[in-house]
Structure 1
Amino acid sequence: MDQFDLLVVGSGPAGRRGAIQAAKLGKKVLVVEQGKRVGGVSVHTGTIPSKTLRETALNLSGWRERGFYGRAYRVKQEISAEDLRRRLLITLDHEVEVLEHQFARNRVQHIRGKASFVDSRTMQIVKDDGEVVTVSAASILLAVGTKPFRPDYIPFDSKTVLDSDELLEIAELPRSMVVIGAGVIGIEYATIFSALDTQVTLIDPKSTMLDFIDKEIVEDFIYQLRDRNMKLLLGQKADKVERLPNGKVELTLDNGRRIVTDMVLFAAGRMGATDTLNLAAAGLEADARGRLSVNPETFATAVPHIFAAGDVVGFPSLASTSMEQGRIAARVAVGAIAKEPPKYFPYGIYAVPEISTCGLTEEEVKERHIPYECGIARFRETSRGHIMGLDTGLLKMIFSLKTRRLLGVHIVGEGATELVHIGQAVLNLKGTVEYFVENTFNYPTLAEAYKIAGLDAWNRMGDIKSEL
């Protein structure tokens, strides 16, 4: 039986970062990946594919230039599913090549196969060719990620009724689409296909969406979606989904409304991919959604030498935070010191338009009874925004009236996921409104919106003295 210092199950963001971190500390590491290639959900069906699809759709559709040339403008008149897939395959090949090189450079061993517990320190791996390998490790990191939730009442067929993993393999772009689920994944794909001029209807039983995002940002986002004729049926549930003889799909909602569409994307949640791990043999138990509970500081499970990181532990389920979770878990697992990460991290939603946020929302500030003021800048107020033809986009900052410190930054619009890092740095370094007022920003840039929003807040705050 092979012995390892750390056995990592899954090679997504958490798994690969954890494995490489342990290897850099001189430990013997094995990564087990059940997919055809390393990279996990993030590389093959999640983060990288959806963002590549988004970028390809925006480029080929001419979306970014429509502010100048009108809504009918297109770079490529007839866009096919193959056009989208061609760029995706190139991107995925590059990601896998980089990851395999990282493993080789850091002497991380990896094999393909399905792993399951024999006991809390031993796992059995069934390789693709049927060979069974048994390995043991001082510590184990579970970074198995998630898979789409597929309820029995949805007639999935991989062609007209699909989950988010299957969407990447469609043969042709639909003229109309219904997306069930107004979570991050559903919203991202709904807006991407809307940018390709597919008529999109978004359905969710909740009457609100993205409740963890600042309400003013969500309101602006919803306005932009409705302005381009996306239908948002919030507070309504799809009771029945039925494939029709003519190849279309009919949905019946709980209020009796019926919708006929070319394609249905079911994106109402994901499940932790833990069902094949035989968790009971290790003394572990997952929740109803297949997720594992961990110590939020060390990512240790109920069994001290077994750790879990990434989407399998739940919110925030971001590739960026998963990487940090994997790194911290690996350091703790091999006995190294692990510093707690900064309090605030950026959350990015790669919809069209993008949303990104860091820190407290206005609703959270109110709940904490913190005296505050907001500063707002609209991208159309910046010269760069005008040059780019932007008539939408909003940057909002929230400041404490007592300390004048930045409490939160929230952005909706072009480049939001890039711009947010300026606010993130100031937030974690406990900067104040004066930073934005007194510093120079490149001109013309969208980042100049920070200056505009800072001045807006500063003017409203008046001569209120800081208690720093």
Structure 2
Amino acid sequence: MSQFDVTIIGSGPGGYVSAIRCAQLGFKTAIIEKYPSLGGTCLNVGCIPSKALLASSHHYEELQHFADHGIEVSGDVKINLEKMIARKQAVVDQTSGGVKYLMDKNKITVFEGVGSFEDATHVKVSKNDGSSEIIESKYIIIATGSKPSNLPFITLDKERVITSTEALKLTEVPKHLVIIGGGVIGIELGQVYMRLGAQVSVVEYMDRIVPGMDSSLSKELTKVLKKQGMKFYVSHKVQSVERSGDVITVKAENAKGETISLEGDYSLVSVGRRPYTAGLNADKAGVKISDRGMVEVNDHLQTNVSNIYAIGDVVRGAMLAHKAEEEGTMVAEILAGQKPHIDYNLIPGVVYTWPEVATVGKTEEQLKEEGVVYKSGSFPFKALGRARAGGDTDGFVKILADAKTDEVLGVHMIGARCADLIAEAVTAMEFRASAEDISRMSHAHPTFAEAVKEAALAATDNRALHV
């Protein structure tokens, strides 16, 4: 029987990063993955492939506007969807191979198969060839991730009524893609296929898209995507989804009781994700799982069984790859006797549309609900020289700061390169910077980052320089 100090079930961003950190700290480490490729949902059917398609479709869209820059392209510009999907897969394969390299480099033993508990210190690995083996481990980390959620009355045939997994490998561009759910995943994939020529309609139960973010971002993103051609039906509850041949009919009802009927050739069901613990046999180890399917943990991500921990999408909190990575690192360091911490308020959220959307800290809605007296400063991208030079003038940066102390409480932005710009806000807030601190830091000119400085100036004393 193989014996290890730490065994991790699941090789997603949380799992494989945790394995690497455990190995760095001197633990004999194993990782169990049921699929042939490492990297979990994020790498194989989530973050990486969706960004590859977003990049490819963005290049195609930009090509339509080359004439604005004095670049004339002769002949028809055509989409080769098969090649685009193949490139996406090549990116996934290369990245997965990179994870395998890191496992080998750090001398981490990889088991391919389904990991399930025999008891609190023994895990059974059920392999695809029908064989199995038991491994013993002092510590076990559950990192089994999540799966797409569904509504109880919707039948996912994975051909025309699909999840994000199938949307990443379509063989044709939909004529009309009806998306159920206006969250991050639905909006990103909707923009991919809208750029490629699909009509895209989004049906959202809440009163705005990306409802977890600051309302000003939802409003601006809606405005920009409408301008690009996307249609929205917010405050609509889906009643039924029916397929007849290649036609999908989605019926939804608004708050007034009025019903709409949308016909498309594909419907993407994107109503969130749920923790995945199927086949884990957590009860054999005595691990508690909540009614919502989440593994219950304390502030140290320790389950009710002292040597078993859980991280990532399978525990409470935002289902984000970088949150899982931080948790995986934290658990490894706790096991080594260190005292790491995570400030969950400073885990950024990003929507990788164009313009990009990024946020960290408190929203205005949260500050109002908590009774915090705050001040706000915003700066539009259209006032930036770099934005005008590149033609990316949509969006703004907004900084929220405490009215008394000037400490930055939240930063919310939509515009070009915001997925990268948000790191500046995270860094500043980690060191409890004030809006004035940011406003007094030199920002290179001309850059998109100048919008952060200007928003800080606006929040400090309403003294932005370029508006």
- TM bin (shorter chain): over 0.9
The answer for the alignment partner of 1:281 in structure 2 is: 284
Distance 1:15 1:57, change over 3 A: same
Amino acid in the other structure paired with 1:262: D
Deviation sequence 1:409-428 (CA, Å, 0-9, x none): 11011111101111221112
Aligned partners of 2:272 and 2:341: how far apart in 1?
A: 29
Shift of 1:310: 0.8
Given the superposition, is the C-alpha separation of residues 210 and 11 from structure 1 closer, same or farther in structure 2, using an over 3 Å criterion?
same
Judge conservation of contact 1:155–1:243 (CA < 8 Å) in 2. no
Partner Cα separation in structure 2 for residue 75 and residue 410 of structure 1: 41
Q: Which residue number corresponds to residue 161 of structure 1? A: 161
- The answer (yes or no) to whether the contact 1:358–1:409 under 8 Å persists in 2 is yes
Structure-2 residue corresponding to 1:143: 143
Partner of 1:253: 252
The answer to whether residue 334 in structure 2 is matched with residue 341 in structure 1 is no
How is 1:369-380 mapped onto 2 (pairs within 5 angstroms)?
369-380=371-382
Name the SS of the counterpart of 1:169 in structure 2: coil
Residue identity in the other structure for 1:338: K
1:188/1:136 CA distance change after superposition, 3 Å: same
How far 1:197 moved relative to its partner? 3.2
Which residue does 2:383 correspond to in 1?
381
Q: For residue 432 of structure 1, what is the aligned residue in structure 2?
A: 434
- 1:138 Cα deviation after fit: 0.9
Report the alpha carbon displacement of residue 80 of structure 1 after superposing the two structures with TM: 3.4
Moved more, 278-287 or 26-35: 278-287
* 3-state SS, counterpart of residue 284 of structure 1: coil
Query: In the aligned structure 1, how far is the partner of 2:10 from the partner of 2:51?
Result: 21
The 5 Å alignment of 1:109-188 reads 109-151=109-151, 153-188=153-188
**Partner SS for 2:319:** coil
**Amino acid of the structure 2 residue aligned with 1:249:** I
Which runs of structure 2 are paired with 1:354-365 in the superposition (5 Å)? 354-365=356-367
Counterpart position of 1:290: 293
Show structure 1 runs of 5+ residues with no match.
463-468
Report the Cα distance in structure 2 between the residues aligned to 1:217 and 1:414, rounded to whole angstroms. 14
Match of 1:240 in 2: 240
What is the aligned partner in structure 2 of residue 220 from structure 1? 220
In structure 1, what is the Cα distance between the partners aligned to 2:44 and 2:439? 43
Measured in 2, the distance between the counterparts of 1:171 and 1:87 equals: 14
- From 314, 317, 335, the equivalent of 1:315 is 317
Note the C-alpha offset of 1:377: 1.0
Whether the 8 Å contact between 2:146 and 2:274 is mirrored in structure 1 is yes
Q: 1:52: how far off?
A: 1.3
Cα pair distance change 1:229/1:288, threshold 3 Å: farther
For residues 271-313 of structure 1, give each alpha carbon's deviation from its aligned partner in whole angstroms, at most 9, with x where no partner exists: 2220111121111243344321211x31111212111101111
What SS does structure 2 have at the residue aligned with 1:11? coil
Which residue does 1:457 correspond to in 2? 459
Q: Note the alpha carbon deviations across 1:232-263, whole angstroms, 9 max, x for none.
A: 11121222212223x12112223432111011
Cα distance in 2 for residues equivalent to 1:76 and 1:136:
61
Tell me how far 1:10 sits from its aligned partner: 0.5
More displaced, 347-356 or 6-15?
347-356
Query: In structure 2, do the counterparts of structure 1 residues 438 and 253 end up closer, same or farther at CA, with 3 Å as the change threshold?
Result: closer
* Residue 278 to residue 47, structure 1, CA distance change in 2 (3 Å): same
Partner Cα separation in structure 1 for residue 206 and residue 360 of structure 2:
24
Using the TM superposition, give the Cα deviation of residue 317 of structure 1 relative to its aligned residue in structure 2, in angstroms: 1.1
The one-letter amino acid of 1:370's match is: V
CA distance in 1 between counterparts of 2:339 and 2:203 reads 42
Q: Is 1:264 equivalent to 2:270 in the alignment?
A: no
Q: Which amino acid aligns with 1:168?
A: L
CA contact under 8 A between 1:68 and 1:389: conserved in structure 2? Answer: no
Residue by residue, what CA displacement relative to the aligned partner does 1:22-74 show, whole Å, maximum 9, x if unpaired?
1111111111000121111111001111111111110122279479479xx99
Matches of 1:64 and 1:320, distance apart in 2: 34
Helix, strand or coil at the partner of 2:251: strand
Which amino acid in 1 is paired with 2:396? L
Shift of 1:331: 2.5
Residues 157-207 of structure 1, C-alpha deviation per residue, up to 9 Å, x if partnerless?
Answer: 322111111111211111210011122222221233223332111112222
The secondary structure found in structure 1 opposite 2:89 is helix
Q: Quick one: structure 1 residues 305 and 269, their matched pair in 2 at CA, closer, same or farther if it must change by over 3 Å?
A: same
Structure 2 counterpart SS, 1:251? strand
Maintained 8 Å contact 2:103/2:109: yes
**Are 2:327 and 2:342, in contact at CA under 8 Å, matched by a contact in 1?**
no
The answer (yes or no) to whether the contact 1:139–1:306 under 8 Å persists in 2 is yes
Query: Which position in structure 2 is the counterpart of 1:326?
Result: 328
Q: Is the 8 A contact 2:43 2:95 kept in 1?
A: yes
Q: Secondary structure at the match of 2:405?
A: coil
Q: Shift in Å at residue 329 of structure 1?
A: 1.5
Alpha-carbon distance, 1:76 to partner: 7.4
Distance 1:435 1:202 in 2: 41
Aligned length: 458
Letter in 2 for 1:414: A
Aligned alpha-carbon RMSD (Å)? 2.4
Would the aligned equivalents of 1:80 and 1:173 in 2 still touch at CA under 8 Å?
A: no
Say which SS state the counterpart of residue 225 (structure 2) adopts: helix
Match of 1:91 in 2: 91
SS at match of 2:426: helix
Task: After TM superposition, list the pairs within 5 Å mapping 1:434-449 onto structure 2.
Answer: 434-449=436-451
Q: Distance in 1 between matches of 2:375 and 2:67?
A: 32
Q: Which residue of 2 aligns with 1:55?
A: 55
Q: Aligned partners of 1:308 and 1:175: how far apart in 2? A: 42
Conserved 8 A contact 1:65-1:388: no
Q: How many angstroms apart in 1 are the aligned matches of 2:437 and 2:68?
A: 34
**What TM-score does the superposition give when structure 2 sets the normalisation length?**
0.92
